[in-house]
Structure 1
Amino acid sequence: MAGREGNGVGVRKVEEFEELRGLLFSIAYRILGSVGEAEDAVQETWLRFASSTTQPTSTKAYLSATVTRIAIDVLRSARVRREEYVGPWLPEPLLDDPYQDPARSVELADSVSMASLLLLERLSPLERAVFVLREVFGFGFDEVAQAVGRSESACRQLLVRARRHMRAGRPRFEAMREEREELAARFFDAFREGDVAGLQELFAADVSLVGDGGGKAPQLARAIMGAGNVARLLASVYPLLARVDVAFEPHEVNGEPGAIFRDRDGRVLHTLALDVLDGRIQAIRLVINPDKLGHLGPVADAWAVDREVRRARRG
């Protein structure tokens, strides 16, 4: 009897955890900006939950607090690595957010964008966790305080500072989904055709093109700035990529219009995400680092593709 009862408790724990897995991953990803680290945090949360001998009053609160604390610890150590990172650092691309809540769809969509995740990088780990739990997921201050190990009053102050940083970095008007999709369709048409003028008219004057190779793939030495410069570079690139059988498929990346680029064998070469604000494309972000692409499928040899492109250019 005791064995069957114990087994029943184990089954309930698995069911409760699986029901909340999407939420836990989404919390961890927003704190960490890394798919792999978020998945590891969720796995560690499960191990702690499975080995616990007490039944929490609220499983959701317990698991959310646990994954938050784990993510904060990981972020503190990750920040040292990011300071030593080769070239610009971008979050790992996320194609689909496993957690959906219609009541908070706007907050969830905006918070997973590349632009918002980069703004979150400016916050301290505690500010970031408080902002994510309260502002994005709507947790009560009592739950936030439990998760980060601070008083409710301290959490309110952390949130004030976090909001101030976030507003200062992104004060402009957000584009409607239909407008973003229409602008993205025009962008990819012009990109395929190598249409410099067509690309340039879609860009903000100070548009930037940033690539994250992490020193492990060919990458831009620095961000390319300005509508004319970015348009000319992009218009010259795709004809060469097409000659070596690189293709792309439009796909939402981090809740933004984007695409996945693949080599001739269908392996992932890089992702592209468009940041659309004020009716213009403000930024184009490429994640090329192979370490950040493995969760999307088999990864291409970017160096080999680059050599082919250089031969095609000479030819």
Structure 2
Amino acid sequence: MTTTERGSGEDRATEFEQLRSLLFAIAYRILGSVSEAEDAVQETWLRYEGSATRPKSVKAFLSAVVTRIAIDVLRSARVRREQYVGPWFPEPLVDDPYEDPERAAELADSVSMAALLLLERLSPLERAVFVLREVFGFGFAEVSAAVGRPEAACRQLAVRARRHMDSGRPRFEADRREREELAGRFFDAFREGDVAGLMELLAADVHMVGDGGGKAPQFGTGAFGAANVAALLAFVVPRFAEIGGTVEPHSVNGQPGAILRAGDGKVLNILSLDILDGRIQTIRSVINPDKLRHLGPVADAWAVADAANAYRPAPAEEAMPKPGE
């Protein structure tokens, strides 16, 4: 990569800050982890600050550095994910700092949990090539420099990655406003424990599944079908509300979702919704405390479950599952 004189530290810091949001956006889509993406961006800055020369294209240089760091991190992270307890979901992203109004919807779909889970099926190189080429529109020369592979190889990687993604690509409603309106109705019914209202909004084959990582209570492998999911929600929500829990609708990974807080205001878990054809297809819950710390103080999910178990709205009702059940 062509370089020039080093340039001042102040100039470098300014250039880096202007590109920080892009670098984070690249790293997060490759890694599916907010904390690891932030670490990758910080390491990119340290390398840029310590380099002896100034690249001709700062954007291309920094994008290449953060991509290579992210690829290395992903390779080691894959071993941990294979040993993960229960379903693994990406760390939820509630605020995406990378803004491009002309491509807002496209970028939001590319960072959805459904899309990130599809990216997990790709090799680290395929994932990096897909993110740079298909999401951010980098030319193959830039992609080649970033991943350290010939352009011809990058084109093949892009074709394979695109084929895998297209075969399972999530299809979201085109009208974002309609999605948000439906999500609003869902969370209204959720707060009220309105089983009939929930049933109207759920797809017949809806799936609700949680990521606790063995560090928080969760309902086994989840619930399938509108009746089961609605009944589960109606069972849990009154107890959650009675102990002071709150539901805050919020965009999660560019899709409708919510932040659930315990009575003390601490983050308990994140819900994200996949919506298609006017119905909720998937409800994902991230309750692993390690994946929520970037959002603020995290609640003790076990203590919240115990408090909910102590609530008895009617003698015939049963308690929430105990740890390990």
Tell me the TM-score normalised to structure 1 length. 0.95
Other structure's SS at 2:284 match: strand
Shift in Å, 1:44 = 0.5
CA distance in structure 2 between the aligned counterparts of 1:35 and 1:149, rounded to whole angstroms: 25
The residue number in structure 1 matching 2:322 is none
- Kept in 2, the 8 Å contact 1:175–1:279? The answer is no
The residue number in structure 1 matching 2:180 is 181
Structure 2 residue identity aligned to 1:55:
R
Shift in Å, 1:104 = 2.6
Other structure's SS at 1:237 match: helix
The residue number in structure 2 matching 1:287 is 286
Structure 2 residue identity aligned to 1:269:
L
CA distance in structure 2 between the aligned counterparts of 1:152 and 1:107, rounded to whole angstroms: 25
CA distance in structure 1 between the aligned counterparts of 2:137 and 2:33, rounded to whole angstroms: 22
Task: Determine whether 1:87 maps to 2:91.
Answer: no
Taking the TM superposition and a 5 Å limit, the aligned residue runs for 1:173-252 are: 174-252=173-251
Q: Which moved more, 1:76-85 or 1:218-227?
A: 218-227
Task: Determine whether 1:140 maps to 2:146.
Answer: no
What RMSD in Å do the two structures reach over aligned CA positions?
1.5
Shift in Å, 1:56 = 0.5
Tell me the TM-score normalised to structure 2 length. 0.92
1:41-63 deviation per Cα after TM superposition (whole angstroms, max 9, x unaligned): 00110111011001101000000
Other structure's SS at 1:91 match: coil
- Kept in 2, the 8 Å contact 1:175–1:276? The answer is no
CA distance in structure 1 between the aligned counterparts of 2:179 and 2:274, rounded to whole angstroms: 9
- Kept in 1, the 8 Å contact 2:173–2:179? The answer is no
Task: Determine whether 1:75 maps to 2:74.
Answer: yes
1:140-182 deviation per Cα after TM superposition (whole angstroms, max 9, x unaligned): 1110111011111111111111111111112645342011011
Taking the TM superposition and a 5 Å limit, the aligned residue runs for 1:144-163 are: 144-163=143-162
The residue number in structure 2 matching 1:305 is 304
- Kept in 2, the 8 Å contact 1:175–1:278? The answer is no
- Kept in 1, the 8 Å contact 2:240–2:308? The answer is yes
The residue number in structure 2 matching 1:165 is 164
- Kept in 2, the 8 Å contact 1:133–1:139? The answer is yes
Shift in Å, 1:205 = 1.4
Shift in Å, 1:185 = 1.1
- Kept in 1, the 8 Å contact 2:191–2:247? The answer is no
CA distance in structure 2 between the aligned counterparts of 1:163 and 1:152, rounded to whole angstroms: 16
Q: Which moved more, 1:57-66 or 1:256-265?
A: 256-265
Q: Number of matched residues?
A: 310
The residue number in structure 1 matching 2:14 is 15
Shift in Å, 1:107 = 2.4
1:249-269 deviation per Cα after TM superposition (whole angstroms, max 9, x unaligned): 111111111111111111110
Q: Which moved more, 1:93-102 or 1:288-297?
A: 93-102
CA distance in structure 1 between the aligned counterparts of 2:68 and 2:106, rounded to whole angstroms: 22
Shift in Å, 1:193 = 1.6
Q: Which consecutive segments of 4 or more residues in structure 1 shift more than 3 A? A: 171-175
- Kept in 1, the 8 Å contact 2:172–2:274? The answer is no
- Kept in 1, the 8 Å contact 2:272–2:284? The answer is yes
Taking the TM superposition and a 5 Å limit, the aligned residue runs for 1:41-56 are: 41-56=40-55
CA distance in structure 2 between the aligned counterparts of 1:25 and 1:175, rounded to whole angstroms: 26
1:36-85 deviation per Cα after TM superposition (whole angstroms, max 9, x unaligned): 00000001101110110011010000000000000000001100100000
CA distance in structure 1 between the aligned counterparts of 2:308 and 2:290, rounded to whole angstroms: 22
Distance 1:144 1:249, change over 3 A: same
- Kept in 2, the 8 Å contact 1:272–1:285? The answer is yes
Shift in Å, 1:238 = 0.9
Other structure's SS at 1:257 match: strand
Shift in Å, 1:278 = 1.9
- Kept in 1, the 8 Å contact 2:114–2:170? The answer is no
The residue number in structure 1 matching 2:319 is none
Shift in Å, 1:19 = 0.6
Other structure's SS at 2:97 match: coil
Structure 1 residue runs of 5 or longer lacking an equivalent are none
Other structure's SS at 1:221 match: coil
